[in-house]
Amino acid sequence: MAGSSCDTVLALVSGLPAAGKTTLVKHLVANGSTRLRLYERISFDDLYGQVASEDAGSKRVEFDPEQWKACQREMVAQVTRRLEGQKVAVRSNCTTPQLVLLVDDNFQYRSQRKRFFQLATDMNFGFAILYVNVPVEICRERNVNRNKGARVPDEVFQRMVAVFEPPNGDQNPWDVNTFELDGTADASDIEESMNTLVQQVENELKERRLLIVEKEKEEAQQHRDGLATQQSVLHRVDLQLRQWISAQLQNEIVLSRGIPKAQLASQLNQRRKRFLESMKRSPSDIADRLQSEATEQVVVSLVLRFQQQQE
Name the phi and psi angles at 245, rounded to 5: -65, -40
131 and 40 in a common domain: yes
Check residue 30 and give its pLDDT. 92
Q: Around Cβ 194, how many Cβ atoms within 10 Å?
A: 24
118 and 172 in a common domain: yes
Sheet holding 9-14, edge to edge: 37-43, 98-104, 9-14, 126-132, 178-181
Which among 159, 184, 209 is the end of a domain? 184
Q: In whole angstroms, what is the distance from residue 25 CA to residue 102 CA?
A: 7
pLDDT along the chain (311 residues), means of 10: 64 95 93 91 89 57 78 95 91 84 96 96 93 95 88 91 96 94 77 89 87 88 84 92 91 82 91 91 84 89 86 53
Q: In whole angstroms, what is the distance from residue 116 CA to residue 103 CA?
A: 10
Q: Are 181 and 13 a contacting pair, CB within 8 Å?
A: no
- Tell which residue, 223, 11, 190, 216, has the closest CA to residue 98: 11
- Tell which residue, 267, 266, 279, 270, has the closest CA to residue 305: 279
- On whether residue 258 sits in a domain, the answer given is yes
Check residue 6 and give its pLDDT. 59
160 and 226 in a common domain: no
Check residue 68 and give its pLDDT. 87
- On whether residue 64 sits in a domain, the answer given is yes
Long-range contacts (CB closer than 8 Å, 24 or more residues apart) made by 71-77: 71/44, 71/47, 72/44, 72/112, 74/47, 75/42, 75/44, 75/47, 75/103, 75/105, 76/115, 76/116, 76/119
152 and 44 in a common domain: yes
148 and 284 in a common domain: no
Check residue 54 and give its pLDDT. 62
Rounded to a whole number, what is the distance in angstroms from the first to the last CA of the chain? 80
- On whether residue 211 sits in a domain, the answer given is no
- On whether residue 284 sits in a domain, the answer given is yes
- On whether residue 17 sits in a domain, the answer given is yes
163 and 230 in a common domain: no
Which among 140, 159, 184 is the end of a domain? 184
247 and 143 in a common domain: no
Q: Around Cβ 100, how many Cβ atoms within 10 Å?
A: 27
Q: Around Cβ 268, how many Cβ atoms within 10 Å?
A: 20
Which one-letter amino acid corresponds to residue 85?
G
92 and 163 in a common domain: yes
- On whether residue 210 sits in a domain, the answer given is no
118 and 30 in a common domain: yes
- On whether residue 140 sits in a domain, the answer given is yes
- Tell which residue, 187, 224, 256, has the closest CA to residue 28: 187
Q: In whole angstroms, what is the distance from residue 190 CA to residue 170 CA?
A: 24
Which among 164, 184, 204 is the end of a domain? 184
Categorise residue 290: left if φ over 0, alpha if ψ from -120 to 50, beta otherwise: alpha
Q: What is the CATH number of the domain that holds 131?
A: 3.40.50.300
19-44 CB burial, b ≥16 within 10 A, e <16: bbbbebbeebbeebbeeebbbebbbb
Query: How many domains is the chain built from?
Result: 2
Q: In whole angstroms, what is the distance from residue 174 CA to residue 158 CA?
A: 26
- Domain residues for the domain of 291 are 219-310
101 and 17 in a common domain: yes
147 and 21 in a common domain: yes
Q: In whole angstroms, what is the distance from residue 299 CA to residue 243 CA?
A: 14
251 and 122 in a common domain: no
- On whether residue 14 sits in a domain, the answer given is yes
Check residue 57 and give its pLDDT. 52
